[in-house]
């Protein structure tokens, strides 16, 4: 129902090759959706037909596994299993962060040269977080390509609203490594809002809160929806829905993972208490973690749950029982954290619960009774939206958002305004002091550019940084250095400028990344005589200026001579060269990304080769079995009857050779060798198989040809007869020459067939026939074409009276001899099903 509704909104699509992949990458689960014409818009299914994929990549020996397959071997290979990677994207390596990671995963980590997380496999290879996440993205891409039947490039990925510039950059890097091109990142609460808005209209603005209790965090997004109908002629009655994010709040601890962790600790204590033994080592801990996740799910619907793990530690079985009460007591301190995000979102938007129409719950942990009851208590039970299934709406909303950005799709008109989660300022030295200029305040609109003017006459640099952001990293984002300032100042001064001002345009993008878009030096204070030329060129002078439109650097300088060709004018604005250095948690360099991409592609290629090799080996193996069976059969099988002793001996000899080779070399043999062996067997078997096939098809082809001959005969007899009656009103339809031509073909074919039938009369079955079925078919078609050409010809127009007689005679069948009736009769006969396309 939901899908069809959405589909109708998406109906118009221009490009048949447009594919868009949306990924909702969670700490625990990944969901994806492919938007492509001809493919029903829905959540992408995993190989085992599930609607979500565990966010795990792991190895079993040298076999790489994803999703449930990776999760299934996790307890056996805990150190080769990588999960809960999302919180580590763009995160600085620190003892505390590493300790947090080791609470949820037993993989070995270390610090990279960039100060980020690196993971170590048991085979000694090291992988950075972006690469491991890139593998997961790549796997989803593969699923989408298998469904869509063509390569997928464009993608939209959801991120939590609290993700920093660094974390967003790491997501973008991971996508690039996976071979995907990001159209945009969208905050996950916002994408739920997009999906919500798709099937609704808001003539009266409404405010809703999206409450997402995920595995890694809890977040609340406050969104105001309003719809307006265009009054302009062009888009008359076209409705546009504005989605404004006005507040957000989050908690990075109280998610589902923390609940699992608390339960695991509870079980650990319980085990120690019952047995006097404290468990240690990765494997039992992994087992306990798995049981904790299971028990948590049971406690969502029951007041207690049994616990049972065979030989958990030192061969001791663990059997116990946990009540929901015990579990909730172990989480008591988390309760305020469940609802604080809602209060924070309201505060940021300067609204109260009275202004909120409903609270939409989403995320796996939102089904936990403990979380539901505290949320109910804070927002009021009536406010929880009942009929909104939000679990998949984030990924669907992300796809719809991507479609709204791409000219290749047409969706309902939506405009999304997100916000800035952390305040960003620009800092630069001025004499002894450092000046901090606020740029993007917390809660202000994202997707804007700001221009800042600085009085500078020498090379300088500025620092963009978060101010008081609760991040686990340092706060510097980007340092930008400008060069060639003195020369530019000189040029402008030579051109008459009294003063110069550096104008920097900084963008906080809709995807939540900060960048310097352009920089220019502007001349100011020109003499009066310059005033005319200057008019309207720029509106510099304001300290800060919000400007949503990009103006290319130097554009004014280029245009000036065109506007005033009579006087050569000096430029009034010169672009400034600048270089950027990413700070805190720098993204991967271009070179590094290229290497990582190649690394992943090499893995993919090796796996594909391995897969193909295995398939080929299996095929060869079953082919060998099949041949052995038919050769060893005692019965008079078709195979035996239609083959000669010599052919079977030859095949047997090849078979023995290949079988011997299989035992010795097939395990490691290359694909081409396996194919060669199969080809050798096929070549030896082919003469027999084609003889069997000929024999099977012979009767049908013979009968077809014989029917064609009969039809030709009947036609010729009729046609020759009609020529002898010389009725002046009915001149003959066919010339003698035409009929003789058909006759020649007919007799030739009859003769040829006659000889062939004689020659093949007492032929042994293991001898090839002297003619092939394809020859019968092509001769039959030749004859049929010659006849059809003549029977298709219409009798010339006759007077009305006559045609009536002729019509009635042909329908009743009481025809005069010969004439059209006879020809029509043959016409049916000559419709023999000769399958010319098979030739
Ligand atoms: C680690 O987790 C604790 C509690 O779960 C949290 O308070 C802390 O901020 C986390 N530290 C890092 C560096 O992620
Ligand atoms: C929010 O609710 C308060 C109290 O009901 C009301 O006065 C105010 O106008 C509302 N604000 C908005 C933006 O609707
Ligand atoms: C300054 O002017 C000179 C001479 O016209 C030119 O070569 C140079 O590129 C200009 N420098 C800048 C920074 O615009």
> Do 383 and 448 have their domain in common?
no
Q: Is the pLDDT of residue 516 over 70?
A: yes
pLDDT, position 734: 82
Do 638 and 771 lie in a common domain?
Answer: no
Which atom from ligand 3 is nearest to the alpha carbon of 577? 13
534 has a pLDDT exceeding 80 = no
Helix (H, G, I), strand (E, B) or coil at 114: coil
Q: What is the pLDDT of residue 229?
A: 87
Q: Which contacts qualify for 646-650: CB closer than 8 Å, 24 or more apart?
A: 647/684, 647/687, 647/688, 647/766, 648/688, 650/684
548: pLDDT strictly greater than 80: no
Q: Which ligand is nearest to the CA of 95?
A: 1
Please report the pLDDT score of residue 539 as a whole number.
43
Does residue 278 belong to any structural domain of this protein? no
Residue 398 has pLDDT above 50, yes or no: yes
The sign one gets for the Cα dihedral 53, 55, 60, 61 is: positive
Convert the pLDDT of each residue in 156-192 to its tens digit: 999 999 999 999 999 999 999 999 999 999 999 999 9
| 138: confidence class by pLDDT, cuts 50, 70, 90 | very high
Cα separation, 73 vs 79, in Å, equals 11
Mean pLDDT of 59-78: 91
Q: Are residues 718 and 660 in the same domain?
A: no
Q: What is the rounded distance in angstroms from the CA atom of residue 95 to the CA atom of residue 221? A: 31
Judge if the beta carbon of residue 484 lies within 6 A of ligand 3: yes
- According to the model, what pLDDT value does residue 85 have? 94
CATH code, domain with 27: 3.30.420.40
- Quick one: pLDDT at residue 437? 93
The Å distance, Cα 784 to ligand 1 centre, comes to 85
443: left (phi over 0), alpha (psi -120 to 50) or beta: left
Instruction: Name which residue sits closest to atom 11 of ligand 2, judged by CA.
Output: 355
* Residues sharing a CB contact under 8 Å with residue 92, sequence separation 6 or more, in sequence order: 115, 116, 472, 473, 474, 584, 585
Specify the ligand 1 atom closest to the Cα of 472: 13
- Lowest-confidence range among 284-298, 420-434, 538-552? 538-552
CB crowding 429-449: b at 16 or more within 10 Å, else e: eeeeeeeeeebbebbbbbbbb
Q: Quote the ligand 1 centre to 87 CA distance (angstroms).
A: 11
632-687 pLDDT per residue, tens? 888 888 899 999 999 999 999 999 999 999 888 877 888 899 999 999 999 999 99
% of the chain residues with pLDDT over 70: 86
557, 574 Cβ separation under 8 angstroms:
yes
Work out the pLDDT band at 237, boundaries 50, 70, 90: confident
Tell me the ligand closest to 206's alpha carbon.
Answer: 2
Indicate if ligand 2 lies below 6 Å from the C-beta of 204.
Answer: no
Locus of tokens 């796809």: 399
Of the ranges 133-137, 217-221, 253-257, 545-549, which one carries the lowest mean pLDDT score? 545-549
Counting from 1 in the atom list of ligand 2, the atom nearest the Cα of 205 is 14
What pLDDT score was predicted for residue 9? 42
Instruction: Specify the 3-state DSSP secondary structure of 428.
Output: strand
Residue 631 has pLDDT above 60, yes or no: yes
Among 293, 343, 345, smallest CA distance to 322 is for: 293
Whose CA is closest to atom 5 on ligand 2? 354
Q: Dihedral angle at the C-alpha atoms of 81, 86, 89, 91, nearest 10 degrees?
A: -100
Is pLDDT larger for residue 539 or for residue 199?
Answer: 199
DSSP β-bridge partners for residue 573:
522
Nearest ligand 3 atom to alpha carbon 571 = 14
pLDDT higher than threshold 80 for residue 79: yes
Q: What is the pLDDT of residue 797?
A: 60
**pLDDT value at residue 554:** 33
- Which one of 491, 561, 575 would you pick to mutate in the ligand 3 pocket, going by the greatest count of ligand atoms within 8 A of its CB? 491
Beta strands in 61-213 (DSSP E): 63-66, 81-83, 108-111, 117-120, 126-128, 154-159, 181-187, 206-213
Q: 763: which DSSP letter?
A: -
Does any domain span residue 401? yes
Give phi and psi for 674, each to the nearest 5.
-60, -40
Residues 6+ apart with CB under 8 A from 781: 834, 836, 839
- Report the CATH number that the domain containing residue 524 is assigned in CATH: 2.60.34.10
Lowest mean pLDDT among 279-288, 532-541, 717-726: 532-541
Q: What is the pLDDT of residue 528?
A: 58
669, two tokens? 């043999």
Tokens 């690039």 identify what position?
Answer: 176
Q: Give ligand 1 pocket residues (Cβ under 6 A).
A: 94, 96-97, 100, 253, 472
Count Cβ atoms below 10 Å from residue 204 Cβ, excluding itself: 9
Instruction: Give the mean pLDDT of the chain.
Output: 85
Beta bridge pairs of residue 542: 540
**Whole-angstrom Cα distance, residue 147 to residue 32?**
12
Give the ligand with the smallest distance to the CA of 224: 2
Q: Give residue 387's pLDDT.
A: 67
Give the pLDDT confidence score for residue 832 in this predicted structure.
Answer: 46
Ligand 1 atom with least separation from CA of 261: 5
Residue nearest to atom 4 of ligand 1 (CA): 253
Query: Does 244 share its domain with 376?
Result: yes
What are residue 89's phi and psi, to 5 degrees?
Answer: -65, 130
Q: List the structure tokens of 600.
A: 């992943």
pLDDT tens readout for residues 439-462: 999 999 999 999 999 988 899 999
Ligand 2 centre distance from Cα of residue 146 (Å) = 50
E-strand spans in 63-180? Answer: 63-66, 81-83, 108-111, 117-120, 126-128, 154-159
More confident residue, 274 or 561: 274
In terms of domains, do 621 and 674 share one?
Answer: yes
Structure confidence at residue 412 (pLDDT) = 85
Whether residue 576 has its Cβ less than 6 Å from ligand 3: no
Beta strands across the sheet bearing 573-575: 544-546, 448-454, 499-508, 514-524, 573-575
Count Cα atoms within 13 angstroms, Cβ side, for 506. 29
* pLDDT score at 308: 92
Q: Is the pLDDT of residue 810 over 70?
A: no
Residue 817, pLDDT > 60, answer no
Instruction: Tell how far the Cα of 96 is from the centroid of ligand 1, in angstroms.
Output: 7
What tokens does 652 get? 């047997």
Please name the residues in contact with 800: beta carbons below 8 A apart, sequence gap of 6 or more. none
Q: Which atom of ligand 3 lies closest to the CA of 488?
A: 13
pLDDT at 430 over 90: no
**What residue spans of 316-368 are helical by DSSP H?**
324-330, 335-349
Angle (deg, nearest 10), helices 671-724 and 819-829 = 160
CB-based contact 111:101 (threshold 8 Å): no
C-alpha span between 145 and 179 (Å, rounded): 12
353-365 pLDDT, tens digit per residue, is 999 999 999 988 8
For residues 402 and 446, state if they share a domain. no
Nearest ligand to residue 226 Cα? 2
Cβ(520) – ligand 3 distance below 6 Å: no
355 lines ligand 2 (CB under 6 A): yes
β-sheet with 56-60: strand ranges across? 63-66, 56-60, 81-83
Flag whether pLDDT at 564 surpasses 70: no
Radius of gyration, CA atoms only, the chain? 40
Average pLDDT for 518-539: 67
Same domain, 340 and 466: no
Q: Is residue 600 one of the residues assigned to a domain?
A: yes
| 55 and 169 together in one domain | yes
* Residue 533 contacts residue 569 (beta carbons within 8 Å): yes
Query: Mean per-residue pLDDT for 597-610?
Result: 93
Which ligand minimizes its atom distance to the CA of 265? 1
pLDDT of residue 795: 67
Residue 430 domain flag: yes
Atom of ligand 2 nearest to the CA of 224: 13
For residue 495, is pLDDT > 80? Answer: yes
pLDDT of 748: 94
- Which of 93, 99, 100 to mutate for ligand 1's pocket (most ligand atoms within 8 Å of CB)? 100
Using pLDDT thresholds of 50, 70 and 90, give the confidence band for residue 5: very low
Residue 504 belongs to a domain: yes
Number of domains in the chain: 4
pLDDT at 259 exceeding the cut of 70:
yes
3-state SS assignment for residue 38: coil
Q: Is the CB of 486 under 6 A from ligand 3?
A: no
Q: How far is the CA of 254 from the centre of ligand 1 (A)?
A: 11
40 and 142 share one domain: yes
Residue 351 CB–ligand 2 contact under 6 Å: yes
Contact 40, 7 (CB under 8 A): yes
> Which is more confidently placed, 72 or 834?
72
Q: Is the pLDDT of residue 553 over 90?
A: no
Segments forming the whole domain that contains residue 607: 592-685
| Mean pLDDT of all residues in 34-46 | 91
Query: What distances in angstroms separate CA 817 from CA 64, 98, 184, 434, 805, one per listed residue?
Result: 81, 101, 81, 115, 14
Please indicate, yes or no, whether residues 379 and 447 belong to a single structural domain of this protein: no
Q: What angle do CA 533, 538, 544 make, to 5 degrees?
A: 155
Neighbouring residues of 442: CB distance < 8 A, sequence distance ≥ 6: 348, 420, 421, 422, 423
Residue with the smallest CA separation from ligand 2 atom 12 is: 355
Q: Which ligand is nearest to the CA of 346?
A: 2
- Between the CA of 386 and the centroid of ligand 2 the distance, in Å, is 24
CA nearest 130: which of 684, 535, 599, 549?
Answer: 599
Is the CB of 357 inside a 6 Å radius of any atom of ligand 2? no
Do 709 and 612 lie in a common domain? no
The residue contributing the CA closest to ligand 3 atom 6 is 491
Percentage helix, strand, coil, to 5, in the chain?
45, 25, 30
601 exposed, middle or buried (CB, 10 Å; 0-12, 13-18, 19+)? middle
Q: Across the strands, what pairs with 202? A: none
Minimum-distance ligand 3 atom for the alpha carbon of 484: 13
Ligand 2: centre distance to CA 375 (Å): 22
| 305 pLDDT above the threshold of 70 | yes
Band (pLDDT 50/70/90 cuts) for residue 762 is confident
**482: number of CA atoms within 13 Å, CB side?**
27
Q: If you take atom 9 of ligand 2, which residue's CA is the nearest one?
A: 355
Alpha helices (H) along 725-772 = 736-759
Q: How confident is the model at residue 809 (pLDDT cuts 50, 70, 90)?
A: very low
Residue nearest to atom 2 of ligand 3 (CA): 491
Structure-derived torsion over alpha carbons of residues 162, 164, 167, 169, reported in degrees to the nearest 10: 130
What integer pLDDT is reported at residue 808 of this predicted model?
A: 37
If asked whether residues 508 and 653 sit together in one domain, one would say: no
**CATH, residue 609:** 1.20.1270.10
From 417, 435, 468, the end of a domain falls on: 417
Cβ atoms 569, 560 nearer than 8 A: yes
What is the CA(811)–ligand 3 centre distance, in A?
A: 96
Distance of CA 245 to the CA centre of its chain: 27
Is residue 261 assigned to a domain? Answer: no
Residues 6+ apart with CB under 8 A from 506: 426, 439, 449, 450, 451, 452, 464, 514, 515, 516, 517
Q: Does residue 491 line the site of ligand 3, with CB under 6 A?
A: yes
Ligand located closest to 247 CA: 2
Residue 329 lies in a domain: no
Residue 388: pLDDT above 60?
A: yes
Residue 471 pLDDT > 90:
no
Quote the CA–CA distance of 546 and 236 in Å, as a whole number: 31
- Does residue 796 belong to any structural domain of this protein? no
Q: Which atom of ligand 2 is found nearest the CA of 351?
A: 1
pLDDT mean over 491-497: 88
Ligand in closest contact with the CA of 471: 1
pLDDT band with cut points at 50, 70 and 90 for residue 30: very high
Asked if 454 and 522 touch (Cβ cutoff 8 Å), the reply is no
Residues paired with 285 in a beta bridge = none
Q: What is the mean pLDDT of residues 701-706?
A: 93
**How does residue 798 score in pLDDT terms, banded at 50, 70 and 90?**
low
Chosen domain end from 385, 417, 449: 417
CB 743 within 8 A of CB 716: yes
CA distance 504 to 448: 14
**pLDDT on residue 725:** 63
- Please answer whether residues 134 and 600 qualify as being in contact, where contact means their C-beta atoms are separated by less than 8 angstroms: yes
User: Are 104 and 86 contacting, i.e. CB atoms less than 8 angstroms apart?
Assistant: no
Give the CA-trace dihedral at 174, 178, 182, 187, to 10 degrees: -50
Nearest protein CA to atom 2 of ligand 2, as residue: 355
Residues paired with residue 544 on neighbouring β-strands, in sequence order: 452
Which of 253, 262, 265 most suits a substitution to test ligand 1, by most atoms within 8 Å of the C-beta?
A: 253
CA 450 to ligand 3 centroid distance, Å: 27
Instruction: Tell me how far apart the alpha carbons of residues 661 and 620 are, in angstroms, rounded to a whole number.
Output: 11
The last residue of a domain, from among 643, 667, 685? 685
Q: Which ligand is nearest to the CA of 352?
A: 2
Query: Could you tell me the pLDDT band of residue 431, with boundaries at 50, 70 and 90?
Result: confident
As given in the structure block, the two tokens for residue 546 are 């919000």
């Amino acid at each position: 129902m939901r899908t069809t509704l959405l589909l109708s909104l998406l109906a118009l699509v221009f490009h048949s090759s447009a594919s868009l992949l949306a990924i909702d990458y969670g700490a625990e689960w990944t969901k994806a959706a492919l938007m492509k014409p001809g493919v029903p818009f829905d959540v992408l299914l995993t190989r085992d037909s599930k609607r979500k994929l565990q966010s795990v990549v792991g190895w079993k020996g040298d076999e790489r596994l994803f999703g449930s397959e990776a999760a299934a071997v996790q307890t056996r290979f805990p150190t080769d299993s990588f999960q809960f990677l999302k919180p580590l994207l763009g995160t600085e390596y620190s003892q505390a962060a590493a300790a947090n990671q080791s609470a949820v995963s037993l993989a070995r980590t270390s610090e990279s040269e960039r100060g980020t997380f690196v993971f170590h496999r048991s085979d000694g290879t090291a992988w950075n977080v972006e690469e491991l996440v890139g593998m997961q993205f790549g796997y989803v891409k593969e699923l989408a390509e298998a469904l869509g039947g063509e390569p997928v490039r464009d993608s939209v990925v959801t991120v939590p609203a609290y993700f920093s510039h660094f974390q967003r950059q790491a997501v973008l890097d991971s996508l690039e490594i996976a071979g995907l091109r990001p159209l945009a990142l969208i905050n996950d609460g916002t994408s739920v809002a997009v999906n919500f808005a798709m099937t609704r209209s808001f003539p009266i603005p409404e405010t809703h809160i999206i409450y997402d209790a995920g595995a890694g965090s809890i977040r609340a997004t406050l969104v105001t929806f309003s719809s307006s109908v265009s009054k302009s002629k062009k888009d008359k009655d076209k409705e546009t829905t504005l989605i404004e994010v006005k507040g957000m709040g989050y908690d990075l601890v109280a998610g589902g993972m923390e609940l699992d962790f608390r339960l695991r600790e509870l079980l650990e204590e319980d085990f120690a208490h019952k047995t006097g033994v404290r468990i240690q080592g990765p494997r039992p801990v992994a087992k306990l973690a798995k049981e904790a996740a299971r028990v948590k799910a049971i406690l969502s619907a029951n007041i207690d749950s049994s616990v049972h793990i065979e030989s958990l530690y030192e061969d001791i079985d663990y059997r116990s029982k946990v009540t929901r009460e015990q579990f909730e007591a172990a989480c008591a301190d988390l309760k305020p954290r469940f609802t604080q995000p809602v209060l924070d979102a309201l505060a940021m938007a300067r609204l109260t619960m009275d202004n909120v129409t409903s609270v939409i719950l989403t995320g796996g942990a939102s089904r936990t009774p403990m979380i539901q009851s505290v949320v109910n208590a804070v927002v009021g039970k009536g406010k929880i939206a009942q009929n909104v299934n939000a679990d998949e709406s984030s990924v669907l909303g992300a796809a719809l958002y991507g479609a709204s950005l791409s000219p290749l799709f047409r969706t309902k008109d939506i405009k999304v305004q997100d916000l800035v989660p952390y305040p960003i300022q620009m800092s630069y030295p001025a004499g002894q002091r450092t000046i901090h200029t606020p740029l993007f305040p917390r809660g202000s609109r994202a997707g804007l550019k700001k221009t800042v003017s600085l009085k500078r006459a020498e090379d300088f640099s500025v620092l963009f940084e978060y101010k008081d952001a609760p991040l686990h990293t340092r706060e510097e984002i980007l340092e930008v250095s400008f060069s060639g300032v003195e020369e530019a100042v000189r040029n402008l001064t030579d051109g008459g400028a009294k003063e110069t001002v550096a104008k920097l345009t900084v963008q906080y993008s809709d995807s939540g990344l900060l960048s310097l878009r352009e920089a220019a030096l502007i001349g100011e204070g020109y003499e009066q005589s310059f005033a005319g030329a200057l008019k309207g060129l720029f509106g510099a002078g304001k300290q800060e200026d919000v400007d949503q439109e990009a103006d290319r650097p130097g554009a004014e300088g280029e245009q000036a001579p065109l506007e005033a060709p009579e006087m050569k004018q000096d430029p009034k604005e010169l672009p400034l060269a600048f270089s950027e250095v990413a700070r805190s948690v720098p993204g991967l360099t271009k070179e590094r990304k290229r290497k990582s991409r190649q690394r992943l592609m090499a893995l993919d290629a090796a796996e594909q080769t391995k897969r193909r090799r295995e398939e080929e080996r299996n095929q060869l193996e079953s082919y060998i079995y099949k041949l052995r069976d038919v050769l060893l059969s005692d019965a008079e099988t078709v195979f035996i009857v239609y083959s000669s002793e010599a052919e079977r001996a030859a095949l047997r000899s090849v078979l023995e050779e290949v079988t011997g080779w299989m035992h010795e070399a097939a395990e490691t043999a290359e694909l081409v060798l396996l194919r060669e062996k199969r080809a050798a067997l096929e070549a030896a078997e082919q003469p027999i198989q084609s003889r069997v096939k000929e024999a099977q098809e012979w009767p049908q082809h013979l009968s077809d040809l014989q029917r064609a001959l009969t039809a030709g005969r009947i036609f010729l007899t009729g046609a020759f007869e009609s020529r002898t009656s010389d009725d002046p009103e009915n001149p003959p339809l066919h010339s003698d020459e035409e009929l003789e031509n058909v006759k020649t073909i007919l007799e030739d074919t009859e003769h040829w067939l006659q000889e062939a039938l004689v020659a093949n009369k007492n032929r042994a079955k293991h001898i090839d026939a002297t003619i092939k079925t394809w020859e019968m078919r092509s001769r039959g078609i030749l004859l049929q074409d010659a006849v059809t050409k003549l029977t298709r010809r219409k009798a010339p127009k006759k007077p009305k009276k006559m045609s009536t007689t002729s019509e009635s005679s042909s329908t009743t069948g009481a025809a005069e001899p010969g004439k059209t009736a006879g020809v029509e009769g043959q016409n049916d006969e000559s419709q023999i099903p000769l399958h010319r396309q098979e030739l």
